[in-house]
Amino acid sequence: MPWFKRSKQNIADSTQQKELPAGLWDKCPTCGEIIHKKQLELNLWTCLKCDHHFRISSLEYVSFLFDKNSFKEMDKKMRSADPLEFTDTKKYTDRITSTIKKLDLNDAVRTGTGKIDGREVAFACMDFQFIGGSMGSVVGEKIARAADKAYKSKIPLIVISSSGGARMMEGAYSLMQMAKTSARLARLAEAKIPYISILTDPTTGGTTASYAMLGDINIAEPKALIGFAGPRVIKQTIGKDLPEGFQRSEFLVEHGFVDFISHRKDLRSNLSRVLELLS
């Protein structure tokens, strides 16, 4: 007979692992580092180990770019219609409604005005979480209105792009936004009002073919994917291997498509310096 007794219940209790509360940790997709969300936020959503820039929302950009309580949102209630009555795996109207409920955001861009070190700017920032940051009629209209605000108030315009391109559910209505936004930016250029474009991961398709690449200054976050067609499509089309780092920020700086790369932690100070130079 053993000199001690231990019940199965006691064994189970002592060996049971405590589960961590859900949503407290994130894993870096580049290096695999496990990071506490509070640490990630304090580091402006960049990996502490490898500097990977996580995709973040427009609200998070607003939180660290603008002077405290200076940002005022415009056209918040604007939302997409369904002109084509489009249906794929679900109705477009249902997709829009469910995404709005999930993100508390009516479309893939947030616009408004605010101050960076006391300098007022018009601002638009895309949200990749909203149907891949796709550019539909609302995105185009809101960016056009932000450009109109910059024109009327004689203040610089800043646009942060994060998009998979045109929104297929709106067909030609989506493609028309490329011309609309480009025309508004041409008017700003004629009036010598600065336009600063910030390209984040990813910036592709019709967004790249219009307002994203038309900045007086084009700034990119490190290692962001930036291009029109994706690298896999290009490789299949030309039948050749692509150069290392093709369509990443560093490649585009070398080839003159981007003016400079800014780490997210330096973005506010870099914007402040650019605004001072352009004013």
b/e sequence 16-34, b meaning 16+ C-beta within 10 Å: eeeeeeeeeebebeeeeee
Distance CA 146, CA 139 (A): 11
What is the pTM assigned to this prediction?
0.90
Residue reference for tokens 């310096």: 273
Q: Which residues contact 130 (CB under 8 A, 6 or more apart)?
A: 99, 103, 105, 107, 108
Q: What six digits make up the tokens of 175?
A: 């493609």
217-220 and 195-203: which strand pairing?
parallel
Per-residue pLDDT of the chain (279 residues; tens, 9 = 90+): 454 555 555 544 444 444 445 579 999 999 999 999 999 999 999 999 999 999 999 999 999 999 999 999 999 999 999 999 999 999 999 999 999 999 999 999 999 999 999 999 999 999 999 999 999 999 999 999 999 999 999 999 999 999 999 999 999 999 999 999 999 999 999 999 999 999 999 999 999 999 999 999 999 999 999 999 988 889 999 999 999 899 999 999 999 999 999 999 999 999 999 999 998
